[in-house]
């Protein structure tokens, strides 16, 4: 039986989010039905709700940092049982047989592209997918993660499903570890997880920030220093010294100021996806030291499980501010002002009282 989910949706790019009902599919043989306990608030939710990237389908139910409890499983599901605590991140499906899917890099699916947890094509019901700002969801078991942190930490685990994996994956891919000097640009949801994870991997971590008042937090999270990115002298003091820089900034900015801080063969990897493009970087800055600018998209399912287990073992969760669902518009406004410490998480029980 398909079910009706209570949710919050954006009905247009400039309207506040509002209550909305949607249909979840019957549990298929390979599906897991999940009651959502907590859902993190990613800047991608805001970009999509406001159609800053274009292509948003309305009504839009954002949310791809989901932690919840299994309430039903399909006949062929063996990995999960009723009562298990599980997570769902940015993807709910992919083609399953292209070279990237075969490599466990479903986020780079080469045939259909990955199916986003929201605003993606719904291959079972038709229409498009609705995300985690809702009371339950039905997901193919191949896109469900096991959560084994302490139950008391589950709200702070939710942001790992996007902010955690989006920083863990490039830090692993570019082999960040002991003896390396690593920069994290932007101390927001992604950035603060990047600091924690890179420090846990053994790197010496520096934060580049537009917010000098985040210095104490940066150091508490594991950084050696916070460098104010608007301070040209402070930046110049670190010229040619970084092995790797991860840029999580959600707005257009000058990349040359960062590439010039890389050592020979260093890489600046972009994960922030601003509404407007960055100014074109200077080629000379790259070729004279064989520096690279790269990009990275979330992470595969197997790597997401690896990240969750790594974070459990290193006792890492997000620093969160819990909100009720009807506070979501205020949370978005604060996110635009870089006033998030360091991830909003929606307590989904609040859906019952609005």
Closest approach of ligand NAP to the CB of residue 178, in Å: 25
Question: Is 335 a residue that touches Zn ion (CB under 5 A)?
Answer: no
Question: Is 320 a residue that touches Zn ion (CB under 5 A)?
Answer: no
> Using CB under 5 A, which of 33, 42, 197, 348 touches Zn ion?
42
Question: Is 169 a residue that touches Zn ion (CB under 5 A)?
Answer: no
Count CA atoms closer than 13 A to 281's CA, side-chain side. 17
Q: Which helix (H) or strand (E) holds 178?
A: none
> Which residue's CB is nearer to ligand NAP, number 95 or number 251?
251
> Using CB under 5 A, which of 5, 162, 245, 307 touches Zn ion?
162
> Using CB under 5 A, which of 44, 119, 134, 211 touches Zn ion?
44
Closest approach of Zn ion to the CB of residue 190, in Å: 8
Question: Is 131 a residue that touches ligand NAP (CB under 6 A)?
Answer: no
Binding to ligand NAP (CB under 6 A): which residues in 182-201? 186-191
Question: Is 250 a residue that touches ligand NAP (CB under 6 A)?
Answer: yes
Question: Is 268 a residue that touches ligand NAP (CB under 6 A)?
Answer: no
Q: What residues make contact with ligand NAP under the rule CB under 6 A?
A: 42-44, 47, 162, 166, 186-191, 209-211, 214, 248-251, 253, 271-274, 296-298, 335, 338, 340
């Amino acid at each position: 039986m398909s079910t009706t989910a209570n949710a919050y949706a954006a009905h247009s790019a400039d309207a506040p989010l509002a209550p909305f009902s949607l249909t979840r599919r019957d549990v298929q043989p390979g599906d897991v039905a999940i009651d959502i306990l907590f859902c993190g608030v990613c800047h991608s939710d805001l970009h999509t709700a406001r159609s800053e990237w274009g292509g948003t389908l309305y009504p839009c139910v954002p949310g791809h940092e989901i932690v919840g409890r299994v309430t039903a499983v399909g006949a062929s599901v063996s990995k999960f049982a009723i009562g298990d605590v599980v997570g769902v991140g940015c993807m709910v499906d992919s083609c399953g047989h292209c070279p990237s899917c075969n490599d466990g890099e479903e986020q780079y699916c080469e045939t259909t592209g990955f199916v986003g947890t929201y605003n993606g094509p719904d291959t079972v019901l038709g229409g498009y997918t609705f995300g985690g700002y809702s009371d339950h969801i039905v997901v193919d078991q191949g896109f469900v993660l096991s959560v084994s942190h302490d139950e008391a930490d589950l709200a702070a685990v939710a942001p790992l499903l996007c902010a955690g994996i989006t920083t863990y994956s490039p830090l692993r891919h570019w082999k960040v570890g002991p003896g390396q000097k690593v920069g994290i640009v932007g101390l927001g949801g992604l950035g603060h997880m990047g600091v924690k994870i890179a420090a846990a991997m053994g790197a010496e971590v520096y934060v580049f920030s537009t917010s000098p008042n985040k210095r104490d937090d940066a150091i508490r999270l594991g950084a050696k220093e916070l460098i104010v990115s608007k301070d040209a002298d402070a930046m110049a003091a670190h010229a040619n010294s970084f092995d790797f820089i991860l840029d999580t900034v959600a707005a257009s900015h000058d990349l040359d100021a960062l590439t010039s801080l890389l050592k020979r063969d260093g890489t600046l990897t972009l994960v922030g996806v601003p509404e407007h493009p960055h100014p074109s970087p200077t080629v000379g800055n790259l070729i004279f030291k064989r520096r690279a600018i790269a990009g990275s998209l979330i992470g595969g399912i197997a790597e997401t499980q690896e990240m969750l287990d790594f974070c459990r073992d290193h006792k890492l969760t997000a620093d969160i501010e819990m909100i009720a669902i009807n506070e979501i518009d205020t949370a978005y406004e604060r996110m635009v002002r870089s006033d998030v410490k360091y991830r909003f998480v929606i307590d989904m029980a609040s859906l019952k009282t609005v």
